[in-house]
Amino acid sequence: MADEIGEVDLLRYEQGDGPARRAVVDGLMRSLATGFVYVAHDVSEDLIDEAYGMLEAFFSLPAEEKAAFVAPGTHGQTGYTGLLVETAATADVADWKEMLNWARDVAPAHPLRTRFPHRYHDQVLPEAAVPGIAEVLNAFHDAIADLQRRVLRIIAE
């Protein structure tokens, strides 16, 4: 059925033979019809739990404490964005959501940062409010970025 969310086993692709790999590729490509796919992966459950625990600790803080990690001038690309700050392009009412955005720092001399300084800012993470969060979220970011690359390899095949 076209509305079903497909499931892809990343390790079956990476460790399988030709027919097994082809089945994973075909399954992933079919799943793109819905835009969603469950990916069986090997990202550490402990890392996922630790990252979510750190984020829960941050979002449990009072609004005034979280506001210390707003990064002015970044358009929400890093740091904290509070409730009712953003409005979806198709809406007239501000969103009841809050976010903590982060990525890996881009070196100051990197060509992207040189050419687009308004898009590549120093990262703002709430280390002072939740000790250890920067290390955990950076490790989580690296693991998820690696997972994304691995899934893209399947799509590219």
Q: What is the pLDDT of residues 137-152, one digit of tens each?
A: 999 999 999 999 999 9
- Indicate the pTM of the whole model: 0.84
pLDDT of residue 89: 84
- Banded pLDDT at 136 (limits 50, 70, 90): very high
Q: What is the pLDDT of residues 36-92, one digit of tens each?
A: 888 889 999 999 999 999 999 999 999 999 999 998 888 878 899 988 888 888 888
Distance CA 34, CA 97 (A): 25
Three-class HEC string of the chain = CCCCCEEEEHHHHHHCCHHHHHHHHHHHHHHCCCCCEEEECCCCHHHHHHHHHHHHHHHCCCHHHHHCCECCCCCCCCEEECCCCCCCCCCCCCCCCCEEECCCCCCCCCHHHHHCCCCCCCCCCCCCCCCCHHHHHHHHHHHHHHHHHHHHHHHHC
Distance CA 107, CA 44 (A): 28
Q: What is the pLDDT of residues 86-107, one digit of tens each?
A: 888 888 898 899 999 998 888 8
- The sign of the torsion formed by the CA atoms of 145, 151, 156, 157 equals positive
Section 104-125 average pLDDT = 89
